[in-house]
Homo-oligomer: A and B are copies of this chain.
Amino acid sequence: MQAQERFVMEWGRMSSSWGINRTMAQLHALLLITGQSLTMDEMIERLHISRGNASMNLRDLHEWGVISRYRHPGNRKDVYHAPDDIVQMFAHVVRERKRREIDPTVSAIRDCMAMVPESDQSQEAEILRNRLAVLLELFEIFDEIFKQIFASNESVKTMFESFSQPKSKTPEDSPG
């Protein structure tokens, strides 16, 4: 399937701009776009990567909560699967990145604010205080917007429909 391959390549190419390694992005893309349950061996073969690389990145993807791992009874091999709801998956990634990357930075900004003595009325200090405050507010706003958008499954659907022109939808298979 030529189109699948193309997508996997593109996803891998794009990943570096966002601080994600190529293999992880490609594994994710593969599961996402095929909708199938795949074994590590199948993915190793399709992506031409080593066993160790696959193992580590699949673990990371699992820790990120964007893929799941099953084992069919009577079969020793694990199979990996991406959830069918891509919108939810997206929301999940954003939530996770916030937790891991934004929240620590917000803490750090608060620390910075605490490091400027109240008594310091210099212009330098005033500017610093102001800019830190604006950044904090910005982060809060994005958090708020995100919460409103992805508050629940329902609202995502609503959003989804109100923002986009309805297009033809096709049914999908389910895990397993």
Q: Is the CB of A167 within 8 A of B105?
A: no
Q: Is the CB of B126 within 8 A of A32?
A: no
Query: Which residues of A, 94-138, contact B by the 8 Å Cβ criterion?
Result: 97, 100-101, 104-105, 108-109, 111-113, 115-116, 123-135, 137-138
> Contacts A7-B108, A10-B109 given: A2-B115 contact, CB under 8 Å?
yes
Shortest CB-to-CB span from A106 to chain B, Å, is: 10
CA distance A140 to B105 in the complex (A): 29
CA distance A34 to B19 in the complex (A): 27
Q: Is the CB of A111 within 8 A of B19?
A: no
Q: Is the CB of B87 within 8 A of A134?
A: yes
Q: Is the CB of A35 within 8 A of B131?
A: yes
Q: Is the CB of A167 within 8 A of B133?
A: yes
**This chain: copies in complex:** 2
Q: Is the CB of A101 within 8 A of B173?
A: no
A113 proximity list for chain B (CB < 8 A): 3
A sample of 27 cross-chain residue pairs with beta-carbon separation below 8 angstroms, ordered by A number, consists of A4-B112, A4-B128, A6-B108, A6-B111, A7-B112, A7-B132, A10-B105, A10-B109, A14-B101, A17-B101, A18-B19, A32-B131, A33-B131, A34-B124, A34-B128, A35-B131, A86-B131, A86-B138, A127-B172, A129-B170, A130-B171, A133-B169, A140-B164, A141-B159, A141-B160, A144-B163, A144-B164
